[in-house]
Amino acid sequence: MSSPVPQTNPTAQEFTRRLGARERAVGYWVVLDAPVATERIARLGYDYVCLDAQHGLLGYSGLLAGLMAVDAGRASVGLVRVGANDPFHIGQALDAGAAGVIVPLVNTADDARRAVAAATYPPTGVRSYGPMRSGLRIGPVPAEANAAVSCLAMIETPEGLANVEEICAVPGLTGIYVGPSDLCLAVGGAFPGDPAVADEFEAALTRISAAAEAAGVAAGIHTPAGADAARRLGQGFTFATVSSDLVHLERAAADHLAAASATP
């Protein structure tokens, strides 16, 4: 039986306040255009559910439906990892109702400033006014929307790692987010999770979390499982995302097949 639905939706304002205060949060990752499945995940109690518009298998209609599904679950806020660091992608995700954006391939402080500007209305930013769905509850007054939404910069490249302290110091940035697959490649790995660069990878994570702590911003990371999320939170990260719907679907199907095929 499904768990009961909470009585009130969490708000973008409260979620962003929690991130800004470096309070712990645990989220889930969605790559499938399956709103009913997303709604069920969003009932479980994760602080946020992030829809992947960069590498995920969903277009704008799927993104919109997924954010509506998260809200219908009434236990999580919806985030979007946008496809690129530009005003169109960031503004579109926020107009669709995202409580915040995760911006990929942020390499410099200037990149971070562009992301913050795209996520905020004038005079502080360049976001175009057209909150077709978000205006129902995030804003619609521009200053209120600016204060409510989160802007998170991904640290995942050699340049981003080299500039992480300057990136974390950018005004208006809510926090940073580690893409571990790309970061592993950035420190010399031949493939994501390459054990040959495990020490270099861990050193990079230590530097990233320390930079965020020094700047007083949130530090997040993607993890393959709940136990890994707990470990990273214990190491100084303030929020962590668990795996993805596609990975868990495949894993569960494989486990059931193995059990059904076992010799009695």
Global pTM reads: 0.95
Supply the residues annotated as catalytic: 55
For residue 213, CA distances in Å to 23, 82, 163, 175 come to 12, 25, 15, 10
Half-sphere exposure of 97 (CA within 13 A, CB side): 23
pLDDT at 7 over 60: no
Per-residue pLDDT, 8: 62
Report the SS3 class of residue 189. Answer: coil
Tokens of 58: 């969903």
For residue 2, CA distances in Å to 37, 40, 65, 95, 225 come to 12, 8, 21, 30, 22
Phi-psi bin for 97: left (phi > 0), alpha (psi -120 to 50), beta? Answer: left
Q: What is the pLDDT of residues 183-217, one digit of tens each?
A: 999 999 999 999 999 999 999 999 999 999 999 99
